[in-house]
Amino acid sequence: MSHLRKARNFNPNNYNKVATIKAVRAVSGLGLKEAKDAVEAAVERNEVVKVQISRHIESAVVNDCIKTIEQNGLALGYKSHRIDVVLEGLKQSAILCAKEDEFELSQFIMDALLKYEKVEEKREDERMKRVDEASARKFKEDERRDKRAKMEHDQQLRWKKEAEMNL
């Protein structure tokens, strides 16, 4: 997880909002509205915004986008994950093995990469499941709170009606 924030040297006159939003979208895979909201939150409300850097983007592209973001007076804290470096090395090794007719070794490496991707997908599914469960709990809590508020309101209306009838 990376953090998008306004840099100390932020200058609104040198700020290119469109280029910054495009860079944030390219790095994170966010939609236009989400990227725009993240940039506006960082610039206008001076918030630190969490941005998930997509793992499927080459590090050169990420570095170019970060450079664009920094040129526009924002900062994106980004640390390359060690596992990404290892995975990229494995992919390159598999390609080299295939070129040198080492198909068994290339297949072994590709199988390992596929297994890792399945494990990552499972982890992401579990994380999303936890998020969904938390959302469901919050929804139920909100429903209960609304139901209690409605019951209290109805009770007050009954008391008011009874008071008017007694007069």
| Fold (CATH) for 2-80 | Ribosomal Protein L30; Chain: A, (3.30.1390)
Give the global pTM: 0.47
Q: Which DSSP string corresponds to 3-51? A: EEEE-TT--GGG--HHHHHHHHHHHH---HHHHHHHHHHHHHS---EEE
Phi, psi of 80 (to 5 degrees): -70, 130
Separation CA 36–CA 103 (nearest Å): 46
Give the DSSP letter of residue 56. T
Spans of the chain below 70 pLDDT: 1, 55, 77-85
86: enclosing H helix or E strand: helix 82-99
pLDDT of residue 151: 93
pLDDT of residue 165: 85
pLDDT of residue 79: 55
pLDDT of residue 9: 72
Question: pLDDT digits over 111-156, tens only?
Answer: 988 898 888 888 878 877 887 787 888 888 888 999 999 999 999 9
Phi, psi of 76 (to 5 degrees): -125, 110
